Amino acid sequence: MKFGTKCIHAGLSPDPSTGAVMTPIYQTSTYAQAEPGKHQGFEYARTQNPTRSALERNLAQLENGEYAVAFSSGLAAMDAIVRLLEPGDEVIAVNDLYGGSYRQLVQVHGRYGIVSHFVDLADVAGVAKLINKKTRLIWIETPTNPMLKLVDIAAITTIARQKKVLTCVDNTFASPVLQNPLDMGADIVLHSATKYLGGHSDVVMGAVMTNSKDIADKLYFLQNAVGAVPGPQDCFLMLRGIKTLHLRVERACKNAKKIAKYLANHPKVGKVYYPGLKDHPQHELAKRQMRDFGAMVSFDFPDGTYEMAVKVLANTHYFTLAESLGGVESLIGHPASMTHASIPRKERLKVGLTDSLIRLSVGIEDVEDLINDLEQAFQNL
Ligand SMILES: *Cc1c(COP(=O)(O)O)cnc(C)c1O
């Protein structure tokens, strides 16, 4: 089955009890038993729900995995993965990690004895040197937020396998349309399904995919034992969103490419960060590793100031000023004051995250309207 067909059919079949073509929302917390312990595979809805099971079968195939486990958010999914470790174990994570993932590793798991190191995963030899007897997990994000840097997934997973260290790729930014980390040697893939998978900015959810039965069994145990499960209504919305995942991402990438080129040629705009531009330092890696370049674009102004960024943010109409990404609608954001405000300014500046950097999540509107929207917002700069 090819990808677009998977989005619509993988793991799904008409409901056996009624023939309903669309997976029903099993809005129930419990299931009737004929005799104690005699049931149809469903006992209690934290443990099993048919809508969730259908979604999990579908999600697994999107990442070419045997197993998928759904959680109530991307960060709940991450929490389950890090709980595979023991106190004293160490994590090596990419240094410009999603802010919430950084916060969880340091402020939550740090308290329970998990030690995290944040490094530039582009330095593959450096990573090899950092691995010691306690290293259990390498946490990859690619492309990163908001600087759109890439990590060579195959290079890192090759080293990790030699040293028997698990690898997890947070594939939220690329989506399974553009890259499938399990095929590149990763043990685990994580998605904030809130973003491209759901695609309509109406559900918060997380998903973990793997080919390891051992890892999947441990995650199903944690899903039930800890209980951060998504409800059946959200699972239905996620299945509905995924049906157009391939079309949405394809269109959003097309729009983003045009917008990145427009920005790169604009006299008022300075640096443009987009892996699809030839001058992106990892353009060759992006061509090799991804099927397209994604729909996230960041840009800056020469001698930019906070005030300049605010002026632009206040004057777009179709680009809504908001956190998050990956929906059908275009969003505009200011990382320094929004997603990355908790990182000290000095640290932000080191990676190029200036006070005037603007991040776009390009949606699937008509690109001419989006470009006109940016153009009029630049007018009074
Ligand atoms: C949003 C996001 C998360 C967290 O997911 P939630 O669904 O918000 O909990 C993790 N990683 C990345 C890259 C994200 O963009």
Angle CA 274–315–361, to nearest 5: 30
3-242 and 245-378 in the same fold? no
Specify the 3-state DSSP secondary structure of 373: helix
Write the pLDDT tens digit of every residue in 313-353.
999 999 999 999 999 999 999 999 998 887 789 888 988 89
Residue 324 CA: nearest ligand 1 atom is: 1
> Residue 218: what are its φ and ψ, rounded to 5°?
-65, -40
Write the pLDDT tens digit of every residue in 60-117.
999 999 999 999 999 999 999 999 999 999 999 998 888 899 999 999 999 999 999 9
Write the pLDDT tens digit of every residue in 201-211.
999 999 999 99
Residue 145 CA: nearest ligand 1 atom is: 13
Q: Is the dihedral of CA 98, 139, 54, 50 positive or negative?
A: negative
CATH topology of domain 245-378: Aspartate Aminotransferase, domain 1 (3.90.1150)
3-242, which class in CATH?
Answer: alpha beta
* Domain map (residue ranges) of the chain: 3-242, 245-378
Specify the 3-state DSSP secondary structure of 156: helix
Of all protein residues, whose CA lies closest to atom 4 belonging to ligand 1?
Answer: 74
Task: Give the mutation target among 82, 169, 194, 196 for probing the ligand 1 site: most ligand atoms within 8 A of CB.
Answer: 194
Which residues sit with their C-beta closer than 6 Å to ligand 1? 73-75, 98, 100-101, 141, 145, 170, 172-173, 192, 194-195, 204, 206
Does the reported pTM lie above 0.95?
Answer: yes
| Mean pLDDT rounded to a whole number for the chain | 96
Task: Give, in order, the Cα–Cα distances in Å from 94 to each of 91, 168, 259, 298, 346.
Answer: 10, 11, 28, 19, 18
Catalytic residue among 6, 26, 67, 98: 98
The DSSP 8-state label assigned to residue 111 in this structure reads G
212 is written with which tokens?
Answer: 């390891």
